[in-house]
Amino acid sequence: MAQASRRPAALEPWQDANARPFLRIQNITKTFGNTYAVDDVSCDVYQGEFFSLLGGSGCGKSTLLRILAGLETPNSGRILIDGVDVTNMPPYERPVNMMFQSYALFPHMTVEQNIAFGLKQDRMPKAQVAERVDAMLELVKMRELRARRPDQLSGGQRQRVALARSLAKQPKLLLLDEPLGALDKKLREHTQFELMTIQERVGTTFITVTHDQEEAMTMSTRVAVMDAGRIVQVNTPANLYEFPANRFVAEFIGSVNIIEGRVIEQLDGEVRIQADGFENSFVMDHLDPLPLGTSVAVAIRPEKLSVHDERPVERPNWVQGKVVDIAYLGDVSIYHLLTPLGRTVRVQITHEQRYERPHYRWEDEVFVSWDSEDGVLLLG
Amino acid sequence: MRQRPFALYTAMAFGYAFLYLPILSLIVYSFNESRLVTVWAGFSTRWYGELFRNESLLDAAMNSFVVATTAATFSVTLGTLAGLALSRLGRFRGRTMLSIMTSAPLVMPEVMLGLSSLLLFVSMQQLIGWPDGRGITTITIAHVTLCTSYVTIIVQSRLAQLDESLEEAAMDLGARPWKVFFLVTLPVIAPALIAGWLLAFTLSLDDLVIASFVSGPDSTTLPIEVYSKVRLGLTPEVNALATLIIVFVTAVITLVGWIVHRSKPSRT
């Protein structure tokens, strides 16, 4: 989540109104029968980005990726890569390569032959092919296994070969369909960082499809959250997490407490909200004035809440509750509180000390509080 | 190690005996001295010598091999195309029709297939003058009709198991559709094509019913020749010939199996 701060503003071309997008997706629609797999999607991706399409299964992310690869033809809309309209270009002519979810390594070829396949299609001179294959094997650290066949490799090794094969032609755009989906958890974490390193080294624009929000958050410069064939929000991982545009994004990324209510008072840059199922009212930041009675939802991340033994009188927002569930996860503990009116609030406490861990137990009556700026006010 | 139950071995022995005793006795009797097929009179290779002097039998065997080889090759070509159309072209007009029509000869009685082929050839000869009488050509065509169905089913089921993203990956890497087919699809389904060819070859070599309808005076195939000999009284020459064929077929299948196993250790 430190992603946004690590990259200086100059590396955020989407902030720059004059920057020219490298990939333009314009009003792409794709239907299968009567269902809209991709529904009027538009999006710009800039040179060198690691862009993720994130969403649940059936949200249209893979179809969109296949449209970019040329493996599906959209019903309407245009795709521009580096200013060139590729909408009707067959896959074998596009300056785009794809890493398939199943890796799709040719079973009758060795690792080397797999990597060289694309280069041979371009009639590259033999010596040059050999040189490029060597460089790719070096990049993914697979030199020793160059003569193996895919069925003699482990899942992680196959993933590397697939990556090397798709990068060998030095595409302008690399598409990755669930690149880490088939790996186990430990290997996946390791490979995430490796993939980022490789992307930074080759400088290719990466577009990846994933259903794993953690994976998308870790690797991406920006993430497009998709639902039911549409892009719901595009932003940096940190902004998606802290400033979700709507309830779907807030709930899809990380965990969140959603408190529904109505506006009962307009303050200066803040609004007072009467929440359903809570005794007291809450004050939240909101710049634009909202008419009284507007129904809103307050979204607060569990780690933004602080826990107190006594009622925190100096804090603007607080909730009383009884501890009903405790989950110890090592680095953090998660508590579920039950309010007197039957609502559940999720709180996360970080363990900063080895000895002084929170001492709350089941059935303890505690208070949680937050400031008016700690949560997001979502409309509708 | 766990003791295998006695019953299991007995069942296995019976199974093998049921399948291979007839063949074994045929091989044994091919080395029989006696002219009578069923009476043992001592070891001899006499009938192998007789066999190589029996021109009608050798001609028939030659015809059969030519027909089987040609028919198998043609039906693998046609069957592969049909299998590709059925599993790779998605939904198209007449797909169901094609699917049913290609598998119809599988369930149709051979007598009908033979008779209908004969009627077709006769009327074709009257209308366009081709084929000129019945012979090797007509037998081959009729066999292709039968064998294509089997090959189609084998190829289609192999293609159905094949990960379509292999072909997409090849295309994505810059291979045009026909190159995708020759560089990726064909090598991956090659074992199925070899299996299909062998099955077609065997079916054709074995066929008596269809061949007897569409064969001509100078084009006797081995099954027809053997069958007519049986009616006149069988000589051990046929045993000798059968033994040679068994040896040949076993050798070919072992070789093919070895090649397939060596080139493709996985089933992906």
Residues of B in contact with A102 (CB under 8 A): 163, 165
Distance from CA of B150 to the nearest CA of A (A): 25
Nearest by CB to B175, from A69, A121, A151: name it: A121
Identify whether residues A290 and A224 lie together within a single domain: no
Examine residue A80 and state whether it is found in any structural domain, yes or no. yes
pLDDT at B2: 61
- CATH of residue A294: 2.40.50.140
SS3 A2: coil
What is this model's ipTM? Answer: 0.84
- CATH of residue B195: 1.10.3720.10
Residue ranges making up the domain that contains A334 = 257-379
Mean pLDDT in each 10-residue stretch from start to end of chain B (268 residues)? 79 94 89 82 87 88 93 96 87 86 87 93 90 89 94 91 92 95 93 90 91 88 87 81 88 82 55
- Residue whose pair of structure tokens reads 């195309």 in the numeric block: B81
Identify whether residues A349 and A262 lie together within a single domain: yes
Identify whether residues A279 and A179 lie together within a single domain: no
Q: How far apart are CA B229 and CA B212, in angstroms?
A: 14
pLDDT at A26: 95
Examine residue B193 and state whether it is found in any structural domain, yes or no. yes
Examine residue B32 and state whether it is found in any structural domain, yes or no. no
Residues of B in contact with A69 (CB under 8 A): 168, 172
Q: Could you read off the pLDDT of A190-225 as tens digits, one per residue?
A: 888 888 999 988 889 999 999 999 899 999 999 999
pLDDT at B267: 43
The residue of A92, A102, A110, A178 whose CB has the most chain B CBs within 10 angstroms, and thus the best one to mutate to test that interface, is: A92
Letter for the amino acid at B68? A
Residues of A in contact with B264 (CB under 8 A): 107-108
Nearest by CB to A121, from B173, B187, B268: name it: B173
- CATH of residue A84: 3.40.50.300
Q: How far apart are CA A260 and CA A277, in angstroms?
A: 9
Least confident of A108-117, A367-376, B122-131, B234-243: B234-243
Q: Could you read off the pLDDT of A261-312 as tens digits, one per residue?
A: 999 988 888 899 998 888 888 999 987 878 888 899 999 999 999 999 888 8
The residue of A96, A103, A115, A117 whose CB has the most chain B CBs within 10 angstroms, and thus the best one to mutate to test that interface, is: A117
**Residue A22 in this model has a pLDDT that exceeds 60:** yes
Q: Which residues of A213-247 are buried (b: 16+ CB within 10 A; e: fewer)?
A: bebbbbbbbbbbbbbebebbbbbbbebbbbebbbb
Identify whether residues A78 and A211 lie together within a single domain: yes
Letter for the amino acid at A196? M
pLDDT at B245: 86
Distance from CA of A91 to the nearest CA of B (A): 5
Q: Taking a C-beta distance cutoff of 8 angstroms, is the pair A294, A263 a contact?
A: yes
The residue of A106, A119, A177 whose CB has the most chain B CBs within 10 angstroms, and thus the best one to mutate to test that interface, is: A106
Nearest by CB to A118, from B165, B173, B187: name it: B173
pLDDT at A269: 85
- Number of domains comprising chain B: 1
Q: Look at residues B207, B85, B47 and name the one whose alpha carbon lies nearest to residue B140.
A: B207
At which of A227, A252, A277 does a domain end? A252
At which of A199, A231, A252 does a domain end? A252
**Residue A254 in this model has a pLDDT that exceeds 70:** yes
C-beta contacts of A285-293 below 8 A and 24+ residues apart = A285/A372, A285/A373, A285/A377, A286/A377, A290/A263, A290/A266, A290/A379, A291/A263, A292/A263, A292/A264, A292/A265, A292/A266, A293/A262, A293/A263, A293/A264
Numbers of helices and strands, H then E, in chain A: 9, 20
Residue in chain B lying closest to A92 (CA): B174
- Strands A205-210, A173-177: pairing is parallel
Identify whether residues A52 and A17 lie together within a single domain: yes
Q: Is A351 exposed, middle or buried (0-12, 13-18, 19+ CB in 10 A)?
A: middle
Residue ranges making up the domain that contains B110 = 48-263
pLDDT at B3: 67
Q: Is B194 exposed, middle or buried (0-12, 13-18, 19+ CB in 10 A)?
A: middle
Examine residue A121 and state whether it is found in any structural domain, yes or no. no
B268 touches chain A (CB under 8 A): yes
pLDDT at B229: 82
Examine residue B198 and state whether it is found in any structural domain, yes or no. yes
Residues of B in contact with A70 (CB under 8 A): 172
Identify whether residues A244 and A225 lie together within a single domain: yes
Examine residue B106 and state whether it is found in any structural domain, yes or no. yes
Examine residue B102 and state whether it is found in any structural domain, yes or no. yes
Examine residue A209 and state whether it is found in any structural domain, yes or no. yes
**Residue A187 in this model has a pLDDT that exceeds 50:** yes
Kindly state the greatest CA–CA separation across chain A.
Answer: 77
Q: Taking a C-beta distance cutoff of 8 angstroms, is the pair B71, B204 a contact?
A: yes
B187 touches chain A (CB under 8 A): yes
Residue in chain A lying closest to B266 (CA): A151
Q: Taking a C-beta distance cutoff of 8 angstroms, is the pair B213, B24 a contact?
A: no
The residue of B167, B171, B173 whose CB has the most chain A CBs within 10 angstroms, and thus the best one to mutate to test that interface, is: B173
Distance from CA of B83 to the nearest CA of A (A): 21
pLDDT at B268: 40
Nearest by CB to A169, from B168, B169, B173: name it: B173
Residues of A with CB under 8 A from a CB of B: 69-71, 90-93, 96-98, 100-102, 104, 106-108, 117-118, 121-122, 149-151, 165-166, 169
Q: Taking a C-beta distance cutoff of 8 angstroms, is the pair A137, A143 a contact?
A: yes
Identify whether residues A347 and A214 lie together within a single domain: no
Identify whether residues A338 and A278 lie together within a single domain: yes
Backbone angles phi, psi at B212, to 5 degrees: -70, -25
Q: Look at residues B181, B19, B191 and name the one whose alpha carbon lies nearest to residue B87.
A: B181
Identify whether residues A50 and A189 lie together within a single domain: yes
Nearest by CB to B168, from A71, A122, A150: name it: A71
Q: Look at residues A191, A241, A234 and name the one whose alpha carbon lies nearest to residue A54.
A: A234
B259 touches chain A (CB under 8 A): no
pLDDT at A5: 43
The DSSP secondary structure of B215-267, one letter per residue, reads --TT---HHHHHHHHHHH---HHHHHHHHHHHHHHHHHHHHHHHHHHHH--S-
Give CA separation, A113 vs A33, A117, A201, B185, in Å: 39, 6, 24, 16
Structure tokens at A139: 């990049």
Examine residue A231 and state whether it is found in any structural domain, yes or no. yes
Examine residue A111 and state whether it is found in any structural domain, yes or no. no
* Strands of A332-338's sheet in order across: A306-308, A365-370, A317-328, A332-338, A344-350
Q: How far apart are CA B83 and CA A218, in angstroms?
A: 45
B126 touches chain A (CB under 8 A): no
Contacts of B115 (CB under 8 A, 6+ apart): B213
- Number of domains comprising chain A: 2
pLDDT at A4: 43
Q: How far apart are CA A269 and CA A377, in angstroms?
A: 12
At which of A252, A287, A308 does a domain end? A252
Identify whether residues A9 and A85 lie together within a single domain: yes
Q: How far apart are CA A33 and CA A36, in angstroms?
A: 8
The residue of B164, B171, B172 whose CB has the most chain A CBs within 10 angstroms, and thus the best one to mutate to test that interface, is: B172
Q: Could you read off the pLDDT of A141-174 as tens digits, one per residue?
A: 999 999 999 999 999 999 999 999 999 999 999 9
Q: Taking a C-beta distance cutoff of 8 angstroms, is the pair B101, B86 a contact?
A: no
Q: Do B268 and A107 touch (CB under 8 A)?
A: yes
* DSSP one-letter code for A48: T
B163 touches chain A (CB under 8 A): yes
Distance from CA of B231 to the nearest CA of A (A): 52
Q: Look at residues A48, A353, A81 and name the one whose alpha carbon lies nearest to residue A205.
A: A48
Residue range A61-79: mean pLDDT, rounded: 95
SS3 A260: strand
B261 touches chain A (CB under 8 A): no
Identify whether residues A196 and A343 lie together within a single domain: no
Distance from CA of A235 to the nearest CA of B (A): 29
Examine residue A165 and state whether it is found in any structural domain, yes or no. no
Q: How far apart are CA A210 and CA A199, in angstroms?
A: 17
